[in-house]
Structure 1
Amino acid sequence: MLLNQLKYFVAVVENNSFTEAASRLYVSQSAVSQQIQVLEETLGVVLLTRQHRRFQLTPAGNHFYQRSKMILAQVDEMTKETITIGTNEEVELKIGYLRVYGGQELHEAITQFSEIYPEITLSVINGTHEELYHEIINDRVDIILSDQRRAFSDECVNFELVKSPMYVEISKRHPLSETNILTLKMLENTPCILIAANEQKAVEEEYYKNTLGFSGHFIFAENLEAGRLLVAANQGFLPIESVGTLAPVTSRVKRLPLYRTEQPIIRNYCAFWMKRTANYYIEEFALILQKLLQKDATL
C-alpha cells in the first residue's frame, strides 16, 4: 500500500468528488480512480459504493478514511520534525505551570524528557490559571499544566493528568491545626492566601469564592514562597495544588486535606496544548508527566 493511495482516498472523500480531488492533487482523474481501485483490490474490501457520479463510504471505507487522516497527519509531522533536526534548527519546548504548584513530578518529567531528547531546549514559566490560559492561546508556550476551570475547548488537546484532593497549609499556632481535616465552613473566619499578580487578583478571588465556595477575607502573595511565609507568620491559610508528591512542610506548618462538607474537594489537573501547534515532543512530555503523576496517585 502506497502513501499516495491514502492521500488520493482522503482527497476524494473530503472533496466529495473524484474530479475535484484530482484537480487539488494536480493529477488526472483516471490516476485517482485507478489508485483507489488498486487500493480496494489490495485490501479486498469495498471502500466506496458508486452510483453514477456520486459515491458513499462503506463502514470499512469510513474507518479507513479516519485512520488515513491520522496517518497522513503523523507523517507530515514526522517529516517536519526530521527536517528541523537534520538542519540543526533549534527546537524549543516551552512549558507553563501553576505558580502555586509545589509537586516534584514536573521536575522529574523535565529531567526524563531531557535525557531522552537532549536535542530539545526546554524553557519553563509559571503563572495563574488565567495567565497560563492566555499564554497558550497566544502561542507563547507549547504546553501548560493547570487545573480545569472552564469547559474543554475544541481548539485544544485537553489531556487529563490526574484527579487530586485539595489541601491547605496552616500555621501550627492556629487552633485549627489541631484537627485532622479542614472544611470551608471551619476556615471562613481565617484569611485565605492566594498566589496572584496584581492584575489577576480579582479573577483568582472570584474563582475561589464563587466556584470553589471559599468565603471570608482574601490576602495575596506574589509567589508560593511568599505565600508560605505568610502561613508561617500565622497570617492565614494557603490552598495548595496537590498535583503529585508535595515537599514536606516546615516544623511550624501543618498541611491538611480540605473538605467541602463531608467529602474532600477534588480537582482535575490537565495538560493543555493547542491542536494547531501539536507535535510529537509535546505529546511525549505530557505522557511522561501523566505516567509519573498517576504512578504516585496509586501509591
Structure 2
Amino acid sequence: MSSIWKYKYFVDVIESKSFTKAGNMNYVSQTAISQNISSLEKMAGGKLVNRGKGEITPTELGRIVYRRAKEMLAVEDMMMKEIEQLRSREVTYVGIDSAINKKMWMTYEQIYDPFFLRAGEKMECYKIDSKIGARMMKKRELDIFIGYDDNELLGEPGIENQYLTSSRLGVYVGKNTSIPYGALRLEDLKGHRCYAAPHYSCSVQREACRRLEGDCDFIEVRNVETMKLKVEFNDAFAFVDSRYFYCNDGEIRSLTDYEKDCEIRMYYPTNCDKKNVHRFMKMLKEKMES
C-alpha cells in the first residue's frame, strides 16, 4: 500500500476524532487504521495521538504531521487533476479503411466536430489501406481502426474488436459493363472475371465462387484500388459492401439470390487508457444505429 494512505488515515482520524469513523470513511477496519497510524508513529519517532477521556487529539508531533499530511494530500489531489487534464488533451488516433466511403467519414465528423473538437479534445483520422491499418494497430500507432473482418487482427493478442454496422453484399461493375443492368443474380455474372483483394474480406466470397466455378475466372489482386481498376477496365466484377464501398468510376448492383452481410468492426487495444477511445466508439455506434 502506498504510504500516502497512512497520511490520509491519520488526517481522517484527527478530523473525525474517531478511529471507527475514519475506518468507515475509507472502507477499512478500525484495526487497519490503528496499524497504519502505529506504522506512521514509528516512522515519525513518537506518539501522534492522545486517546484520553474518550477523545482523540493530536500530540505536538501529531500536529506537525497533520499539517504536512494535509499538504501532501492536497499536492496528490492536484497531481491527479493535472494527469486527468493531460489525458483529456491526448490525441486519439483513428484509422478508417480506405475501402469505406464518405458516409462513414460524414458520421465521424458529425461526432468529432460538436463533441470533441469544440471541447479542445484532439483526434487525428487517417484513410488507410486495411493491411497498413492492421500493421499500425499491432504497433499501437492507432487507437481505433474501423474496417472489415481482418484475419490479421481478429484474435490478435492485445487487440479487441466491436461490431459497428453491417449492410448487404453487392456487386461492383464498371460503367460500361456488359453485365445486365439492375438487380443481379449470380447467373448474370457467368462469363466474366471476378477480382478479389484478400485484405478486403467482402470481396472474398467462397460460396459464390463455388456456385460460379467453371463459369468465371477468379483473380486475386494486392489491394482494393487495384481491384477497382481491374474491374473497370476489364468488364469484370467484384463482391463489395453495397452501402459503404468507396466507388471510383463504377457502380454497385444488388444481388437477389445470394444474401450475405458485410460487417464493419472497430478494433482497439485491449488495455487502452485513453478515455476518448471508448467514448468515441460508443457515440459512433449509437450514431450508426440511429
For residues 146-196 of structure 1, the C-alpha deviation after alignment (integer angstroms, 9 at most, x for no partner) is: 12245556733322111211112113543433351243x65364223345x
1:178/1:211 CA distance change after superposition, 3 Å: closer
Gaps spanning 5+ residues in structure 1: where?
1-23, 43-75, 196-200
1:178/1:84 CA distance change after superposition, 3 Å: closer
Q: Is the 8 A contact 2:174 2:251 kept in 1?
A: yes
1:269/1:248 CA distance change after superposition, 3 Å: closer
Answer yes or no: is 1:158 the counterpart of 2:161: yes
For residues 113-172 of structure 1, the C-alpha deviation after alignment (integer angstroms, 9 at most, x for no partner) is: 1332223041313112x4322221210111011122455567333221112111121135
1:84/1:291 CA distance change after superposition, 3 Å: closer
The residue type equivalent to 2:253 in the other structure is L
| Cα distance between partner residues in 2 of 1:248 and 1:134 | 25
For residues 248-288 of structure 1, the C-alpha deviation after alignment (integer angstroms, 9 at most, x for no partner) is: 886xx4421246xx441112211110122242211232233
How far does residue 211 in structure 1 lie from its aligned partner after superposition?
Answer: 7.9
1:167/1:230 CA distance change after superposition, 3 Å: same
Partner SS state of residue 180, structure 2: helix
Gaps spanning 5+ residues in structure 2: where?
10-18, 29-78
Q: For residue 3 of structure 1, what is the aligned residue in structure 2?
A: none
Q: For residue 105 of structure 2, what is the aligned residue in structure 1?
A: 106
Counterpart mapping for 1:46-85 below 5 A: 80-84=83-87
1:180/1:243 CA distance change after superposition, 3 Å: closer
Q: For residue 255 of structure 1, what is the aligned residue in structure 2?
A: 252
Q: Is the 8 A contact 1:162 1:243 kept in 2?
A: no
| Cα distance between partner residues in 2 of 1:135 and 1:121 | 16
- Over alpha carbons, which structure has the higher Rg? 2
1:41/1:125 CA distance change after superposition, 3 Å: closer
Q: For residue 46 of structure 1, what is the aligned residue in structure 2?
A: none
Out of 271, 278, 284, the position equivalent to 1:283 is: 278
Q: Is the 8 A contact 1:220 1:227 kept in 2?
A: yes
| Cα distance between partner residues in 1 of 2:80 and 2:255 | 44
Q: Is the 8 A contact 2:167 2:242 kept in 1?
A: yes
Q: For residue 236 of structure 1, what is the aligned residue in structure 2?
A: 236
Answer yes or no: is 1:176 the counterpart of 2:173: no
Q: For residue 270 of structure 1, what is the aligned residue in structure 2?
A: 265
How far does residue 289 in structure 1 lie from its aligned partner after superposition?
Answer: 2.6
CA RMSD, aligned part only? 4.1
Aligned residues: 218
Out of 14, 22, 38, the position equivalent to 2:24 is: 38
TM-score with structure 1 setting the length: 0.56
1:191/1:154 CA distance change after superposition, 3 Å: same
